[in-house]
Structure 1
Amino acid sequence: MANEMEKTIELENAIRFKDLLSTGSNFKINQESMAETIDQEIFDDAGSDDDDGELDEDFDSKLSPWKKSFTELKTLMVNVPNKFGSASIYKRIISEGKGEVMQSYNCRIEWTFSMFFENESNAFDSKTKPITAEISEMLIGIQIAVKTMRKKEEAQFVIDYKLMFGEMGCPPRIKPKSDVLLVAKLISFDEIGDEHACDEISEEDQRKFHVIKDKIDEIYKKSLDHIKNKRYRYAITASQTALRKLEWCQVADEKEETEQQSFINKLYIQLADCYIQVENWKKCCLMINELRRRSNISQNVSVMLNEAIALSNIEETFGRSIKLLRAAQQIEPQNEMVNKTLAEILEKDAKYKKEQQEMWKRALDLKAKVESLQK
């Protein structure tokens, strides 16, 4: 059983390692550094000079903080529990972090790191300037290690080779059975969800709200991540997926029904927001009309604002938009976006009315001229 587990770990890490090499992920061993055909030693000895005579900016970070064996270092560390049996991870906190640890592997992190092999003074990979990476794309050992960290925490980990580059390694750079010392600082993390969270659930279970609700929440978090990164069309797709699955599933009692409806309403609001961003005014109004059918939105300022913006781009007149914004202004008088939008639409309305008056004046003048010529 243990051998099967180790084979599974090695296979998953091999896939991730291959992906890291082929996709150009932020965290990777550069392809150039792995190629035997490259003569230049890119992992220079610490203290080597650049062409301009200045020291490498990563000089300090590439020096290992531990000169003795990993066995001795482990005596100063605590064991990190994991499900992979003999494949161990040990941890020592250098600087305490703040807040809670990550609750999910579906996170994007900002961090710095250096990685060392035993009895080698120079890092084989190091990033001293903060980079971002998704945990799901990392090697399993790094995933487990980072997930134990809090924001602003600095820590050292000794990670078993079975959870890193495996029994074979990747010669000549990665030796066989190479345990790794990871020195990391976690700056921040954000949950990014999983758009495919429901893929492995049977159709029967997808009809049960209590089974699927946590998976729907993962899809919702992914849509929020798309919005944060201004990928609004992707956010729309994720939100629509979550909405369909919520509307399709069945609830067991009134409590579940309330929870389901609250989640559905939240998704309609989010879809209206996204349609505003992509300037699909009609779809925005459809989302808000559906929301209005399901709940009372008369006090929801953000929904009123979105509807006013959408209507002002659909209708020739601005009366309904102005009415909505004045109502929103009564609820939140200091809302800058409401006040700004109202001022803009009032200006458009005044311009529109002026143009209409001028158009009618021209029409009447033309009519008078025609009538005078006919006399």
Structure 2
Amino acid sequence: MDRSPSITLETGLDLRQVTSTGSILHISQNEDDFLCTEPEENKFIPIDFTFGEPVNNFELFEKSLTAVDNNGYVKKKVLEEGGGLPFYEGQTVTVMFAGYWENELEPFDSTAVNKPMHVDLNDNGLLPGLQIAIKSMLVGETSVFLLSYKVMYGEMGIPPRIKPKSDCVFYLKAVKCIITPKEGAKYVPSGS
């Protein structure tokens, strides 16, 4: 199997910006963006390492999941239990994720191993499906979600990368949670 480097977004897409002001893709040639260090053994791990696995048949997969919302647009299975209190607005949650289309081997979106995403639950620009999914988690939890296109990328999607009218699977790990600083989540240092 060819394991040539794939492109990993540092942060997810904010559809409000894409549809109103557009987006610019910056590609870094910095070696640190392709490799990260594992502190204990000082080994290198490729950035395109993702957790989760492809799902061949969403209809079969859905049978093992539980609805999180009233409409059944967000369905979940806990893979690793977390702890503490549920998340709420006023917190910033640090998450790692990998998103897959049905019957595709590679994720279409994921966080880098050394660059999790910081989500201010007050104002984050997340798609509604991801917002619902994250709010259903606890710190330390790893879960898999089946997300309807109705709460994700909609009927049009953003071709060619985001398929039109397509459900998707997201693996999410809630790494940590803090009370959002008054300055907002952008001031949360990475790795803390």
- Normalised to the residue count of structure 2, the TM-score between the two structures is 0.68
Match of 2:64 in 1: 76
Q: Which runs of 5+ in 1 are unaligned?
A: 1-14, 25-29, 34-49, 193-224, 232-375
Q: Which runs of 5+ in 2 are unaligned?
A: 1-12, 27-33, 35-43, 188-192
Picking from 47, 64, 69, the partner of 1:58 is 47
Match of 2:134 in 1: 146
Instruction: Select the structure with the greater relative contact order (CA < 8 A; seq sep ≥ 6).
Output: 2
Provide the aligned C-alpha RMSD in A. 3.2
Given that residues 105 and 143 in structure 1 are in contact (C-alpha distance below 8 angstroms), is that contact kept between their aligned partners in structure 2? no
Deviation at 1:226, TM superposition (A): 2.4
Q: In the aligned structure 1, how far is the partner of 2:176 from the partner of 2:144?
A: 17
1:112 matched to 2:68: no
Higher helix share: 1
Q: What secondary structure is seen at the aligned counterpart in 2 of 1:226?
A: coil
Match of 1:188 in 2: 176
Higher strand share: 2
Picking from 72, 80, 86, the partner of 1:101 is 86
Q: 1:91 to 1:171 in 2, by over 3 A?
A: same
- Which residue identity does 1:133 align to in structure 2? V
Q: After the TM superposition, which residues 28-67 of structure 1 pair with which residues of structure 2 at under 5 Å, given as runs?
A: 31-32=24-25, 57-61=46-50, 65-67=53-55
- Normalised to the residue count of structure 1, the TM-score between the two structures is 0.37
Match of 2:17 in 1: 19
Q: In the aligned structure 2, how far is the partner of 1:97 from the partner of 1:155?
A: 10
Off by >6 Å, runs of 4+ in structure 1? 20-24
Larger radius of gyration: 1
Q: 1:228 to 1:31 in 2, by over 3 A?
A: closer
Q: Encode CA deviations 1:306-354: one digit per residue, 9 max, x unaligned.
A: xxxxxxxxxxxxxxxxxxxxxxxxxxxxxxxxxxxxxxxxxxxxxxxxx
Q: After the TM superposition, which residues 128-277 of structure 1 pair with which residues of structure 2 at under 5 Å, given as runs?
A: 128-129=113-114, 130-135=116-121, 136-137=123-124, 138-192=126-180, 225-226=181-182
Q: Encode CA deviations 1:6-36: one digit per residue, 9 max, x unaligned.
A: xxxxxxxxx9513378899xxxxx7439xxx
Given that residues 54 and 100 in structure 2 are in contact (C-alpha distance below 8 angstroms), is that contact kept between their aligned partners in structure 1? no
Q: In the aligned structure 1, how far is the partner of 2:119 from the partner of 2:55?
A: 29
- Which residue identity does 2:95 align to in structure 1? W
Q: Encode CA deviations 1:135-184: one digit per residue, 9 max, x unaligned.
A: 33211100000001000111100100010000011111111111111111
Given that residues 91 and 179 in structure 2 are in contact (C-alpha distance below 8 angstroms), is that contact kept between their aligned partners in structure 1? yes
1:92 matched to 2:77: yes
Picking from 107, 114, 118, the partner of 1:123 is 107
- Which residue identity does 2:101 align to in structure 1? F
